Each structure stands twice: as structure tokens, then as C-alpha cells.
Structure 1
Amino acid sequence: MTLDIPNLKDGGTISDFDQRLREEAHEDLADIIAEEPTSKTQIIAIYGKGGIGKSFTLANLSHMMAEQGKRVLLIGCDPKSDTTSLLFGGKACPTIIETSTRKKLAGEEVAIGDVCFKRGGVFAMELGGPEVGRGCGGRGIIHGFELLEKLGFHDWDFDYVLLDFLGDVVCGGFGLPIARDMAQKVILVGSNDLQSLYVANNVCSAVEYFRKLGGNVGVAGLVINKDDGSGEAEAFAKAVDIPVLASIPQDDDLRKKSANYQIVGTAQSQWGALFAALGENVAVAPPVRPEALSQDGLLELFDGSETGEGVVLEPATDEDMRGKNAEPRESLEVVYDTV
């Protein structure tokens, strides 16, 4: 079975299958809800602010989907390489980029078993990225997907491919699924705080921008993590016109289990039903066109006392900028004496 994803490389011979994909891409999937999916594999990109809980959400979601009998591939696309840590009990997964570099120096080829590992029925891998100050993380993402192609990415047989992307990094590689139609839909992870919803709103803006350029990726919905019941994230989803797929409560048991690399997305956990429902919602949620908010519109979701309501922008002067160095300057303007 061929994986339903557009070819990332320029040029080359286009197969009949690839041509059918291109013809399908002309349909505006975000404006219609098909009775049955047009492709077997759902490729879903998950975006959110760093530290908001994407890895926690994805590790448990992928584990639950596998328990439900689905074939799931989880790909970490965050340079921190922490997507698979919870799934593998805290163990570091060798990344594709570092493994490729090591193998290349040794004159060897990368094999699937070098970079892809499995637990609980989930297949998982990390793209990786450069160390701080030693390269561009976005270019690392692009390079990682080129390596996946060489490993046969287009021929893999999965029901779901879940991609974990940082949402608060704006360089090109992190926008790959949206900009190049690599995914059918995007899922946002946010909380009831301004910064995470700011990031979610930016991703909505990016989706709409690339749709205007002919793209077909839509937003399937929002997962509210660490939900304290204050309601801002739910209000955001309503304002941009996307559904809430799940609300994961702010709970000490969840915090401790996550910190100890314990999987809760399983039928044996008290949280199993929550992640089972999330899996079902993710599967059927259609990609829709969000209506991103303006900065003022985003701020209006929060109590004004928390967001600096009433602040007025006061223009600075040249004297302000010069400080103690400020001194009057003679004007070159000609002033005529009045009679």
C-alpha cells in the first residue's frame, strides 16, 4: 500500500498514483466534508507552543490509537527530540539526523532499524536537529524528510502518521506540512493562557495564508491541555470557528505520571476513556478553514486586568532617546522679524 503523501522532490517521473494525488489536491477539502476519506492514511501535523504538552498528548494519543487496532507512526519534528521520550519510558531515541551523520562518516547507509523503534504497537522516530547555535532547525527538518524518502516513506502502510511540530518557531522547515500540503489536517494544542493561544492563532493564520496560495491543509480542531476551566481556550476555538477535540484537565495525577514517563493513553488507566474519545474525534474531524483573530481580538478573550487593558502607546521623542546627551540644537530655519 502506498503512503498517501505528495512527493517532496522536484522533478522526476510522476507515477499514475502521484498524478491521482495531484488531481485530488484540486478539491477544496476544507470546504466539504466527504462521506468517506479519499485516502487510507491520515497524515496529521500537531502544532503548539513549546512546553504546552504536545509530546504528552501525542505519546498517549498514539498509544491509544494502537490499542484500538490502528497502525500508527509517530514522528518527532522538534529539535529537542522529546516526542518519543514519554512513549519509550524516558529513553532517548537515536535521531535520524545524528544517525545519518554517523553512518555517512563510516561509509554506511541508514536502515529502518537504526532510527525507527516500536512500543505498544506504535512505530516512532525522531528527526532531531542541530545543537544551539550550530545550525538551522528548520533546515534540519527538511533534511530529515529527505532521508525519510530514501528510506521508503511513500511506500509505508499506516492508518495514521502523526507529526509533532513546534508552533512558535516561524522558519520554513517547521511550516513544511502546511506549506507543502504534506498533511491533510492540523491539530492545535493549547491551554487557557495568552501565549499558547497566540501561537495557535498564528498557526491558523499560516493555514489561511497557504490556502490562498492554493494549499489544501485545514485545521481539524483544538486540544485543550492543562484545562483549569477558566474557558479562554474554548472561547478561542469558538472565535476562530474550530471544534474542541478534547479537554485534558489540569490534574496532579496526570502531571506526576507525565513527569515519570508513564503512559496514561491505555484502557488500563483511569484516563483511558479521555484519550479513546480524543482518538475517535481526531479520526473523524474534517479540516476546516479557521478565522484567525487580530491581536486585539485575541486579547479580548482575556480579562483586561491580565492583559494590560487601557495601555496607550506614547511616542518617544528624540530627547527621550538621547537622555543625558540631549541638548538644544540651533535651527536652520530662517525666522523673519515681524514689523
Structure 2
Amino acid sequence: MKIAIYGKGGIGKSTVTANLAAALAAEGRRVLQIGCDPKHDSTRLLLGGRVTTTILDFMREVPPMEQRLDRILHQGYGGVVCAEAGGPEPGIGCAGRGILSAFALFDRLGLRSDDFDVVLYDVLGDVVCGGFAVPLRQGFADVVYIVTSEEFMAVYAANNILRGVGNFEQNGPRLAGLILNSRGDGENPEPVRRFAQAVGLPIVCHLPRSDRFRRAETRHQTLVQAFPTAPETGLFRELARRALDPGPLHPARPLPEAGLEAAIFGTGSSGFVQPGRTGEPRPSRPAADDIPTTAGLPTLPPPPALRLSKSMLCREPLHGCAFAGAIGITVQIRDGITVAHGPRSCAHIASRAILASGIHSRIRRNRLLPRQLAPALISSDMNEGVVIHGGTDKLTHTLHQALALRPRAVFVVTTCPSGVIGDDPAAAIRAVTTGRTPPRLLPIATDGNLAGDYMQGVINACIEGAAALIDRSVRPEGNRVNILAEKNIANNAETNFEIVSDLLKHLGIAVNCRFVRNASVAELRRFRRAPLNLLAHEDHFGRVLRDYFREHHQAVFAAHPFPVGMTETERWLMDIARFFGKTESAAALLATHRQRYRALAQGLRPRLAGTKLMIVSYGHDIDWLLEAAFDTGMDVVRVGILNSSQDDLFRTRFTGRFSWATGYTREQRDADLLRLRPDLLLCNYIPTELPVAVRADSIPLCPDVGCYSGLALARRWVDLLKTPLREGWRDDA
């Protein structure tokens, strides 16, 4: 028989369980009692008050290869075998995870419940979370008792436990009944009786308040051992006999909260919630006089603006992990170190994604990017024990490791496990900063994907990390600009930066700070020295950064993002030139580029004119493609804009020259291909299956900037259109 005894913390369930175990042992039964409570006091009376090593402490202190079952099982009164799961220090870690780990260890070390006549699980029941619900799962407890008292909160907890039990009744009912453990001198069992009747459970044992319990505990003994002939001991012997033959078991029928007080105090009718049914009676609407008002309260300031990624804002499926997005930003800071507070695997996966872009840039563009190839990233290396007992100490140790390398800043980025158990990075930061003046240590709350998707992590790292380094006392000076919202995982980011820098250099304008790519802490501190700011991309992320800096730093921004194509480059450069009073230099430079652009387009026109072009794109700003197509005489027959995690604002200056649709679907694409029969299909990812044979080319998600971006692709289209529509080898079969 495997029995779980649940109840509110402090209700006396450990005393009840230990005495039940002693009574069963007195009947000659082989008993195993497992305490599933962080207080680890379930078996104290059976062991004569001895303090034993808990399972979780054992797992933390003993290497796996040295772990043996006999080191966590202890024999107590009457031969009862005792074990305590234990738990973390109050306020840290995850006790529920600890229960899961304890049962996993039992299984690994070969504990067999068949070796015992009765297994008792003494389980905390204030909140039946996934960990504390382990004894309810298939293969563990067959029978459940709930300990309660006449107090309202004890019955309230019992009702919640019924809800938890109901979630595990797929193979039939398991409730044997209630155990009433009276707590007061003036006993009034009537509320518990009314509750028991309402939920359809018997009160299998009523334990009166007795001084003998206290006297037995002062001897570190169970009542059964200390007073074997006492009437209370007789109650436990009767409970033991009943536990061995509980009779028909009962389904869990918890009361709705609206009916709970009525059931206990007898103030009205009380329906119950059948398992599997949804919803509860709606509370009646309060009278107008009962509705609280805000009259007389002080006026509160409006809440701060939320800086959310598009996926979070639109409640889309998460694209990536906020932890990885934040790492992608913080490792770009040259003299900073990022501490990833979580399992080593999280840091490994995030760094591999960064490394992949560095390797790609090295192979495809022959560029060495130190921040990508060797990111300054240290993991706090959380394991199961850290998750159970809390990771603040481990994080503090890792921060000391990071500080020993003498960085200018340390960023602490959190993963899912640290967020789930509620670790406080600020506490670890305080521990390492006491009595010294270290570099800036900045926590960035991502908690894996709990804070959102990859772009949400990028936003959080920019605002909570990099922007926190900015010195507000710095004032604008000289011909300088800042660059914001570059794509760190784009392998052409450095090429684009060099093109932009070269254009600005011709006007005598220098780049003050890149926010945040290949930047130093000193450059970030001097961010406000630049009088003008340039967005690399005016997508959702770029607009979030622009709004933040306008609000918090009164930053001035150029009207347009990095230019792609001839027209955008002319517009972008002239706007900047007007701001700095450099219009003559800009006009001369652009005249040279415009002449060259026209010559290149004219050379491509005879081979592309009249070609039917269809575009399907995740990018919402494709005027640079359309410009190249129209300037070379192509016929744009259809544009389909796909839903994107990066942007939600399609815009074009070519309105009326082509047909287009947003929220474009695969079905629309296939129908348009059959109807329009284009000569060339452009898309970010070339589909493997299309309804018609069509030549296709890819559109870069992050195109090269500058005057000639579109024409560079157009030269590729010329060669592509020369190839056979269907490869000959496909006919060989």
C-alpha cells in the first residue's frame, strides 16, 4: 500500500504520518516513510530526534559514482525506514524541483517499493505544484489522505489539494478521506463535517487536542512509542488498520471558492466542481455603494512605456530566445565581459550562433570579427543542484572570476532556470561590490525566453545594459554621428559600416559610437557627444531604440535609415549634409555616383527590359529592389509581403506602379505564379516546391547599403535568365 498524506503546512501532518508509521510497524508491517517537505522534520520522531542528511544535501555533497541507497535511508522506531527529501534555504531555489530530483535519485539507486508493506509520503500541500504532486503520479501513491483542522485556512488548503488530486485521477479515484486534527481547546468539528459532506469525503479519523502529543515530542518519540496504551494511540492503531483496507475510494470534488465559506460556516448552499468541468459560478455584481472609488487618492504618474519586440507586442509565436538576443548585444562591447547565469549549454548554444556569423564572415568576406569568433562569455554553469538550492552563490563566484580579468563592464544575463527559481542577480552583484569600486556590473533580465523572443533580448540588452553606461553629463560637439540598430548577426554589417563611414568621411563627419557593435565602454559613455544619430534599419527594433533615445536622452535622429539604392543614398546624404552645413560637398559627391549609376543601369537594360518579375519578401522596405527593376526596364507583376518578426510597416514610393499584398500566404504565391507566369521570382528563401518551373533568386534580409545595391543583384539576374528554365538532369529519369 502506497499512501500520500497531504495537508497545509503546520497542520500536524508530519506528526500524524510518523504516528501512523509507528502504529503500522507495531502491527508487524514493513514501513517506508518519505518526507516531502523542505522542513525535513517528517521522520524526526521516528529517529529519536536525530538529524539526518537529506536527499538533496546528499546529492549536492556526494559525487554520483559514490551515491548509494543505504546512505540516504535510516532505520527508526519499529524498523520504520526513513528518508527526507529536504529542500533549499528559505527564499531561494526551487523546492518542487527538489522533490522531483529526490524521486529520480530513488529510481536511479534502485529503491523498490515492493520491499515494503506500506510506503508513506508526507507531503506539503499548501500549493500542489508539479514537484509536490509527484506522489500523486502514476506508480507512486495509491491512496490519498488529507489532514485538516477546524480553521478556515486549513480547509481552504484541503480544497486546493482536492483540485490537485483531481488532475491525476485518469485511472480512477484515490481519496480515502479526511483526517481531522483538532487544534483548539474549544473544539468545533462542525465546519469540517459540513465541508466533508459537501465534497463527498468521510472523516476517517478525528484526533482530539491532547497534551500527550507535546509530552511525547519532548522525548523525541511518537505518541505510539511514548504512550502505547493511551486513547490517542488507539486512534492511530485504528487508522492503521483502516489504511491497510481503505475500502472504496472517492473522487476529488473540490468546491468552487464562491461556495467554500458557505459550506464551512453553513451560510448558504454550496455546489461542487466535478472533475473535467470548466468554469465556476460568477460572483454577483456588487452594489454601486460597494464599489471602491479613487476619490481623494493622489494622482499617479503614467506607467513607463513598454519597450517590446514586435513578437511580444503582437502576441506572435516567439522567434528565438531573449537570453540569446541579449548575449548577441553584450558580447559586442569590446572591453566588457558577459556572465550567462544558467546552464553551460545555454551559453554554448548562444555562443555557437554568434560564432557561426563570425565564421561565415571569415569565409565569405575574408573578415576577422574578434567579438564573433571569440565572444567574452562566461557561464555560471548551473546544474540541477544549483536549480534546487539557488544559484546566487554560484553567480557570485562567477562574477569574481569575471572581475579578475579586469573588464570595464560586466553584464549578467539570465536564463530560464534562473528566472524560474527566482534568483536575484542584483544580490550577487551587491556581494561582489561591497567595499570596493569595481567596473559597472549590470543585470539584464531576460530569464531565457520568459521575457520574450530574441529581439526582446536585444532590446533589453540595449536599454538595461549598453544604455546604462551612457554619461549624461557629456554634451554634443563637432561633426560626429552615432550609429544605432545594426544587425550583429548579419555578415555584411562591417561592409555596410565601411560604406557609410566612407560617405560620411567625404563630408568630414566622424562616427562617434556604434550602438551596439564593436563598441568600447568609453565610446558608449561618450554617446551623447554626437549631435546626430543614424539608424541602420528603420524596422520595429530601430523605431523602439529611436523612441527610447528621444525620450531619455533628447537625441536627434536623421530622417532616414542607412540607404539602399541610388535614390535613398541621395536623400540620406543630403539630409545629413544639411544638418552639418555640408550640402556643397554632398552634392558634388552624389553627382559622381549618379553618373556611374546611370551608366550601369543603361548597360543592363537591353538584357532585362520587359522581363516579368515577381517579389515575395519578409523585408518591408524593398524600394531599392523596385528601383533597380524599374531603372532596368523590368515589369514588376506582383509583390507579396510576408509576415515578419522584424517589421510590420510596408512602405513604398512606387505606389500605383505594381500590385501588392501584405500578409502574403503560400497559397496566394502559388496562385499568382500559375496566373502571372513570371520570368523571375525573388524571395528571401528559395522554395523547393513551386507549382510552375520558374527561375528564382534570393533577396538578402540585410542588403548591402549604398548607391549600387540593387544593380549588383540585377547583374546576377542577367546571368540567371540565361540558364535553362529546367535543368537537363531532371529529364534523365
Written as runs of structure 1 = structure 2, the 5 A alignment for 1:66-77 is 66-77=25-36
Cα deviation, residue 292, structure 1: 1.4
Larger RCO, structure (CA 8 Å, separation 6 or more) = 1
Q: What is the letter of the counterpart of residue 3 of structure 2?
A: I
Query: Of 49, 65, 68, which aligns to 1:111?
Result: 68
State the Cα distance separating 1:209 from its structure 2 match. 3.0
Distance 1:184 1:230, change over 3 A: closer
Partner in structure 2 of residue 284 of structure 1: 245
Asked if structure 2 preserves the Cα contact closer than 8 Å seen for 1:76 and 1:83, the reply is yes
Counterpart among 153, 159, 176 of residue 220 in structure 1: 176
Aligned to 1:45: 4
Offset at residue 131 of structure 1 (A) = 1.2
What is the identity percentage for the equivalent residue pairs of Structure 1 and Structure 2? Answer: 37
Q: Does 1:144 align with 2:102?
A: yes
Q: 1:284 to 1:81 in 2, by over 3 A?
A: same
Cα deviation for residue 217 of structure 1 reads 4.9
Q: CA deviation at 1:272?
A: 2.2
- Paired residues for 1:177-326 under 5 Å: 177-180=135-138, 182-211=140-169, 214-226=170-182, 228-266=187-225, 268-270=228-230, 271-285=232-246, 286-300=248-262, 301-302=264-265, 314-317=290-293, 319-320=294-295, 323-325=297-299
CA contact (8 A) 1:184 1:287 kept: no
RMSD: 2.5
1:56/1:258 contact within 8 Å kept: no
Paired with 2:92 and 2:244, the residues of 1 have a C-alpha distance of 38
SS at match of 2:81: strand
Per-residue CA deviations over 1:211-248 (Å, capped at 9, x if unaligned) read: 2xx24352111111126243222222222111111111
Q: Given the two structures, how large is their TM-score scaled by the length of structure 1?
A: 0.74
Give the deviation of 1:180 after TM superposition: 4.1
> What residue number does 2:55 align with?
96
- How many Å separate the matches in 2 of 1:215 and 1:254? 38
**CA–CA separation in structure 1 for the residues paired with 2:251 and 2:297:** 49
Report the 3-state secondary structure (helix = DSSP H, G, I; strand = E; otherwise coil) of the residue aligned with 1:139.
helix
What code does the residue aligned with 2:48 have?
Answer: G
Structure 2 counterpart of 1:112, one-letter code: L
AA matched with 1:323 = L
Alignment counterpart, residue 134 of structure 2, candidates 154, 164, 176: 176
Equivalent residue for 2:80, pick from 122, 125, 135 = 122
Deviation for aligned residue 1:325: 2.1
Larger deviation, residues 166-175 vs 58-67: 166-175
Structure 1 distance, partners of 2:25, 2:112, is 21
DSSP-derived class of the 1:265 partner: helix
Q: Distance in 1 between matches of 2:103 and 2:173?
A: 18
8 Å CA contact retained: 2:212, 2:223? no
Spell out, residue by residue over 1:26-68, the C-alpha distance to the aligned partner (whole angstroms, 9 max, x if none): xxxxxxxxxxxxxxxx111110000000110011110110010
**1:258 CA displacement:** 3.2
Q: Which residue of 2 aligns with 1:10?
A: none
**How far 1:178 moved relative to its partner?**
2.2
- Counterpart residue type for residue 260 of structure 2: L
Matched residue type, 1:297: G
Separation in 2, partners of 1:255, 1:61: 17
Closer, same or farther in 2 for the Cα pair 1:156/1:110, shift >3 Å?
farther
Cα offset, 1:110, TM superposition: 1.7
8 Å contact 1:186–1:217 — kept in the other structure?
A: no
Task: Report how many residues are paired.
Answer: 275
Residues 155 and 265 of structure 1: is their aligned pair in 2 closer, same or farther, counting only changes over 3 Å?
closer
Q: Is the 8 A contact 1:183 1:217 kept in 2?
A: no
Aligned residue in 2 for 1:60: 19
Write the letter of the residue equivalent to 1:202: N
Q: How does 1:7-22 map to 2 (within 5 A)?
A: none
CA contact (8 A) 1:49 1:167 kept: yes
Q: What letter is aligned with 2:238?
A: A
- CA gap of 1:165–1:235, structure 2 versus 1, over 3 A, is same
- Letter paired with 2:259: G
Deviations 1:300-328 (A, max 9, x none): 21266xxxxxxx683344x35x812279x
- Which of 24, 44, 49 lines up with 1:85 in the alignment? 44
Structure 1 pair 201–130 and aligned structure 2 pair: CA distance change class (3 A): same
Cα offset, 1:154, TM superposition: 3.5
TM-score (normalised: structure 2): 0.36
* Range with greater deviation from structure 2 (256-265 or 167-176): 256-265
What SS class does the counterpart of residue 210 from structure 1 fall into?
coil
Which amino acid counterpart does residue 166 of structure 2 have in structure 1?
E
For 2:125, the equivalent position in structure 1 comes to: 167
Which structure would you say has the larger Rg?
Answer: 2
Instruction: Tell me the secondary structure at the aligned position of residue 224 of structure 2.
Output: coil
Tell me the residue number matched to 1:30: none
Greater Cα shift, 52-61 or 128-137? 128-137
Stretches of structure 1 that go unaligned for 5 or more consecutive residues are: 1-41, 305-311, 328-339
Q: Is the contact made by 1:76 and 1:125 (CA closer than 8 Å) also made in structure 2?
A: yes
Aligned-partner Cα distance in 2 for 1:175–1:255: 30
- Does structure 1 retain, via aligned residues, the 8 Å contact 2:69–2:110? no
Find the aligned partners of 2:250 and 2:118 in 1 and give their Cα distance.
19
Give the counterpart letter for 1:115 in structure 2.
I
Change (3 A) 1:263 1:210: closer
Letter in 2 for 1:295: E
Maintained 8 Å contact 1:223/1:245: yes
* TM-aligned CA deviation for residue 151 of structure 1: 1.7
User: Deviation of residue 70 (structure 1)?
Assistant: 0.7
Identify if the C-alpha distance between structure 1 residues 174 and 326 changes in structure 2 by more than 3 Å, giving closer, same or farther: closer
Code of the aligned partner of 1:231: E
